[in-house]
Amino acid sequence: MVLDDPKSAPATREDAPWQHDKKKEDLKHIGKPIRKVDARSKVAGLTRFADDLRLPRMLHMKLLRSTMAHAEIVSIDTSKAAALPGVKGILTGKDMPTPFGILPVSQDEHALCPDKVRFVGDPVVAIAATEEETAWDACRLVDVQYRELQTVGSVHEAAGTNDPRLHDYGVRGNIHRLENLEFGDLADGFNRAEHIREDTFWFEGNTHLPMEQHATLAHFDRDGKLTVWSSTQTPHYLHRALARVLAPLPAHKIRVIAVQNGGGFGGKSDPFNHEICAAKMSMLTGRPVKIALTREEVFWCHRGRHPVLMRSKIGVTKTGRITALDFHSFLDGGAYGSYGTASTFYTGALQTVTYAVENYHFRGARFFTNKAPCGPKRGHGTPQPRFALEVQLDKIACDLGLDPAQMRLDNLAPRDSLTANFLRIGSMGLGACIEKVVEGSGWKERRGKREVTKDGRIRGLGLACSSYLSGAGLPIYWNGLPHSGVQLQLDRSGLVTAFCGSTDIGQGSDSILGWIIGEVLGIDPLGIKVVTADTDLTPVDLGSYSSRVTVMTGNAAMQAAERARDLLAKGVAKKLEVPASRLVFADERVFDAEDPQKGMSFQDAVICTEAQFGTIGTVGSYTPPKSAAKFRGGGVGPSPSYSYSAAVVEVEVDPETGIYRVPKVWMAHDIGRALNAAVAMGQIEGSIYMGLGEAMMEEMAYRDRSHKGKRVFVHKIPSLLEYKSPSACEMPECVTYVIEDPDKNGPFGAKEVGQGPLLPMMPAVANAIFDAVGVRVDENPVSFEKVFAALQAQKAGKEARFGPANDDTGVPVVDFGEPLQIKTPWQGGDGTAHNDPHRTKKAAK
Amino acid sequence: MTQPNKVLATFQVNGEPHEVAFLPHKTLLEVLREEMDLTGTKHGCELGECGTCTVQIDGTPVLSCLVLAVDAVGKDVQTVEGLAQGAELNPLQHCMADLGAAQCGYCTPGVLMAADALLRDNPKPTRDEIKEALAGNLCRCTGYIKIFEAVELAAARMRGEDAQPSKESIYGS
Ligand code: FES
Ligand code: FES
């Protein structure tokens, strides 16, 4: 075992161009709690969201959605709707026959269903009218005749139903994807294990629940150009989807503007039916068209957390070192592909980046079911397996009589190393994270003490960790282009304008541009003008997903700013007759380091440079480093860097009812470097909150109803009242630690912030429940009734556990075929699979 | 499906009269946003579940999606647009901006209107009283903590104290 061998680290690293080693005291703006560039307009109520926009002669559009979970469309009669005064346009599936979808491998959606509906809520007809209510009324006048088909409601059912298929693509039957990857030698790993466990876990789906419902305004103007304003996290991908469906309208005549998002969390990352319909409707009617979804429709759009069933077999040494991990995941994908291919890989990708895993076998299956499509939610595909792994490790520590915190510390994945599945770890602050929360919470003294509160509840502490990407190493569609571009324009007034395609969804990405550029040019970050997320004006940035913006947009901004600084230095050097290398940019001035009096204002620097070289503009762009994983499927998981988190959660459990509260949380997050202290804190606190909601109450559950002998899946809780999420009253006290372990690949050493700390919350809650009352809930959410059921089992002398059957009957029987076999780095592997049929074919050619 | 006749009425919003014609079944939320272009007031459900539409009527926070516009005629309606004094933000707005308590900013107008009413009634609210007052305003971004801290900071400043945010709240522990 040569896991820690420096040879397994990447042989050559380019010089670190992103100033990760800059000392804190040398940074003027970075790390300071400066306001966000849009803070004023947000607190003044002046930020315009998509539904706040309107245009003269604007029509309102509504979608008629399927009432059937799975059916063929026999006929659609819109004649009565068309006759209603005020109705200006009607679209059905035949008007937009080209399919689309976020991933090139699953172009399986239509703007309106042409011949088949796949879930209750699938859109069938779009109607635009002069008044919003008229559009609703008209929808009610449409007569759609369906022929119902058998429905598929779960991974078990999907695995057992070959016919009817939801889609005519995929692996077979209703299996959308099957992945089977083996890294190293599992049999050997288990042979060397001193302890082996097998557990089955279930993670129910849940949804983003952004406070803003999606809205879109589209305007096809008289010059034949289309503008679409939308609450989207990915204007570039929406642009591509529009160009595809609206062809022959050329892409350069389509302009997508991502309006400020009122929260996204991944829920606004797909191109949506309503966006494409609004665009088409505007082209049809020649008038601006707006659609604002109702809250209920937002639940139907979904793309949230996949429900995942997991079976995990783990082999460890006496000290808890993982010698072998055999992990199966079964994803309930809902009705469409969405990001599901990536989600499937993500349920297997990041198990290896927290603790060293010597040999690893991952099998993942995604199924189509007649429910709203699942996709990426904060943590995309990784919280479910993280729940399984962290709860299982807690059980292992218990089995071996080890302290769960110490066991994790003893087995950390090494920094600057390659994992079994060829992910390249750079900076790695998980150890520091664990130490902080252990110390802060009094873990060593308080764990396992089962203190009783005044009102008779029992206290427990639970610990869990996680890691997350700083952006995906590969774009969603194959291309060799930069992932992020920034363009700077320097004006004689001294104004610096940054143009970038990145999209602010509330996380502060617009501000990141200001802070970084301000730092490099020595000017006030709030004085910089930021123009973002407009496909006509701004260079492409792939969007706000997978926590990619801080690193990727940040690096592009840094490059553009450094180029501007170099140009200005040239201009000023000539004018002042000092070498450019001696010039300092700080406090809105450019001056000689050796004689600070000798210098000029930033504005004068721009003017004198423009006088010498003409109009000033620079560009910067960023492409992530090449991945070491070259096997098929290796595209999901690589990232420029990984953030780390550790949490201790305190619970107080009523041993009679299972009702518990969470009074306090300790969370440490290694983010490389905080670009803005207050904003980073806000991201961490928001993650704690959202993770707590997932742990305690949030679930996207369905009612299984019969209708004329056929089963229909109706969303159980499509409202904010019934989809429980934590209110201000449920928010616990949080002690937050920001760990800064700068990473070479990020701007000033920054990594992602704000997805990672969501992940440990759910397993930490489950582990804390065990610490308090000795029962295991192997399901998420860890809701009160499950704790109660486990307590009942405990009282009855049965296994003190609630969860899916913990044997082979708990998971569906699926033939995964032969695994791709990949040698680990410490076996001398080169990142390719030695039995890849594609590779063999290529080699034969 | 014939439409009923519109009513014509004058509203007092943020101290200014607004004369508008609207259908009698319209909510205050709809009339504010659609007839007066006061889009600072948001909607997240239009069913009284999220608090993003909170405004004040005669100083009391209400959910404007549950108030018929006709019932607000003749009353003093305050929206987020009325909080700032001219170009100057009020102390609560300043504190929210400084602490990053508005992430996406969508819940922010509702939170501001609820918290503003609280601070008028209770210049020194405890953390629990703040939680209680904001229990009906869902926020998916912040975990509420920066909002609580902003309300506490603003309360202190409005009492004339020279208060600063704690180091832990900005840099962590
Ligand atoms: S819009 Fe949600 S409470 Fe009024
Ligand atoms: S700041 Fe986004 S919902 Fe509160």
For residues A99 and A109, the answer to whether their CB atoms sit within 8 Å is: yes
Q: Is A712 or A346 the better-scoring residue by pLDDT?
A: A346
Give the CATH number for residue B70. Answer: 3.10.20.30
Nearest alpha carbon to residue A297 among A176, A156, A121, A132: A121
Identify the band that residue A644 occupies on the pLDDT scale cut at 50, 70 and 90. Answer: very high
Determine the topology of domain A56-149+208-301 in CATH: Aldehyde Oxidoreductase; domain 3 (3.90.1170)
Nearest alpha carbon to residue A756 among A509, A528, A468, A360: A468
Nearest alpha carbon to residue A496 among A481, A479, A483, A513: A513
CA distance A360 to A452: 42
On whether both B124 and B141 belong to a single domain, the answer is yes
Determine the topology of domain A6-10+483-622 in CATH: Aldehyde Oxidoreductase; domain 4 (3.30.365)
Is the dihedral angle over the CA atoms A3, A7, A12, A17 positive or is it negative?
Answer: positive
Q: What angle, rounded to 10 degrees, do the helices at A761-773 and A383-400 form? A: 30
Q: Least CB-CB distance to B170: which of A42, A265, A681?
A: A681
Mutate to test the interface with B, among A131, A676, A681 (most CBs of B within 10 A): A681
Q: What secondary structure letter does DSSP report for A392?
A: H
Q: Which atom of ligand 2 is nearest to the CA of A210?
A: 3
For A614, counting Cβ atoms within 10 Å of its Cβ (0-12 exposed, 13-18 middle, 19+ buried), the class is exposed
On whether both B60 and B97 belong to a single domain, the answer is no
Strands (E), A289-359: 289-292, 308-316, 322-332
On whether both B12 and B78 belong to a single domain, the answer is yes
Lowest mean pLDDT among A233-242, A697-706, B76-85, B150-159: A697-706
Which residue has a Cα nearest atom 3 of ligand 1?
B48
Within a 10 A sphere around the Cβ of A499, how many other Cβ atoms? 21
Take residue A37 and report the two structure tokens written for it: 């560039």
Tell which of B82, B117, B149 closes a domain.
Answer: B82
Ligand 1 pocket residue status of B53, Cβ below 6 Å: yes
A647-696 pLDDT, tens digit per residue, is 999 999 999 999 999 999 999 999 999 999 999 999 999 999 999 999 99
Ligand 1 pocket residue status of B56, Cβ below 6 Å: no
Take residue A43 and report the two structure tokens written for it: 């607190």
Mutate to test the interface with A, among B99, B116, B141 (most CBs of A within 10 A): B141
On whether both B77 and B44 belong to a single domain, the answer is yes
CA distance A174 to A814: 11
Q: What is the pTM of this model?
A: 0.96
Q: What is the total residue count of chain A?
A: 845
Tell which of B49, B82, B115 closes a domain.
Answer: B82
Residue A266, pLDDT above cutoff 90: yes
Q: List Cβ neighbours of A825 (8 Å cut-off, separation of 6 or more).
A: A8, A418, A419, A420, A422
- Compute, in angstroms, the gap from residue B67 CA to the centroid of ligand 1: 11
Strands (E), A207-264: 215-220, 226-230, 254-258
Ligand 2 pocket residue status of B106, Cβ below 6 Å: yes
On whether both B27 and B77 belong to a single domain, the answer is yes
A716-763 pLDDT, tens digit per residue, is 788 998 899 999 999 999 999 999 999 999 999 999 998 999 999 999
CA distance A528 to A359: 50
- Compute, in angstroms, the gap from residue B103 CA to the centroid of ligand 2: 5
Alpha helical stretches, state H, B57-173: 69-72, 91-99, 108-121, 127-133, 145-158, 167-171
Tell which of B51, B82, B113 closes a domain.
Answer: B82
On whether both B39 and B68 belong to a single domain, the answer is yes
A506-526 pLDDT, tens digit per residue, is 999 999 999 999 999 999 999
Within a 10 A sphere around the Cβ of A483, how many other Cβ atoms? 26
Residues of chain A in contact with residue B84, where contact means CB-CB under 8 angstroms, are: 44
Q: Provide the number of structural domains found in chain B.
A: 2
| Chain B nearest CA to A700, separation (Å) | 16
CA distance A803 to B97: 44
- Residue B105: which domain range? 91-166
Nearest alpha carbon to residue A176 among A230, A241, A105: A105
Contact: B138, A211; criterion CB under 8 Å: yes
For residues A511 and A38, the answer to whether their CB atoms sit within 8 Å is: yes
On whether both B33 and B72 belong to a single domain, the answer is yes
On whether both B14 and B37 belong to a single domain, the answer is yes
Instruction: Tell me if B31 is assigned to some domain.
Output: yes
Instruction: Tell me if B172 is assigned to some domain.
Output: no
Instruction: Return the domain boundaries, chain A.
Output: 6-10+483-622, 56-149+208-301
Average pLDDT of chain A?
Answer: 95
Residues of chain B in contact with residue A719, where contact means CB-CB under 8 angstroms, are: 45, 47, 49
DSSP letters, A736-749, are EEEE----TTSGGG
Contact: B100, A508; criterion CB under 8 Å: yes
Which residue has a Cα nearest atom 4 of ligand 2?
B139
Residue A276, pLDDT above cutoff 90: yes
A136-190 pLDDT, tens digit per residue, is 999 999 999 999 999 999 999 999 999 999 999 999 999 999 999 999 999 999 9
On whether both B73 and B102 belong to a single domain, the answer is no
Q: Which ligand is nearest to the CA of A36?
A: 2
Q: Specify the DSSP element, H or E, that contains B20.
A: strand B16-22
Q: Which ligand is nearest to the CA of A505?
A: 2
Within a 10 A sphere around the Cβ of A763, how many other Cβ atoms? 31
Q: Least CB-CB distance to B145: which of A47, A262, A685?
A: A685
Strands (E), A135-275: 143-148, 175-183, 195-203, 215-220, 226-230, 254-258
Residues of chain B in contact with residue A736, where contact means CB-CB under 8 angstroms, are: 168, 172-173
Reduced to 3 states (helix: H, G, I; strand: E, B; else coil), residue B88 is strand
Residues of chain A in contact with residue B170, where contact means CB-CB under 8 angstroms, are: 33, 677-678, 681
On whether both B140 and B158 belong to a single domain, the answer is yes
CA distance A667 to A645: 7
Using CA atoms, how far residue A482 sits from A409, A424, A426, A540, A619, in Å, is 37, 20, 21, 8, 12
On whether both B74 and B105 belong to a single domain, the answer is no
Q: Which ligand is nearest to the CA of A209?
A: 2
Q: Least CB-CB distance to A45: which of B45, B81, B144?
A: B81
ipTM for this model: 0.97
Distance in Å from the first CA to the final CA of chain A: 36
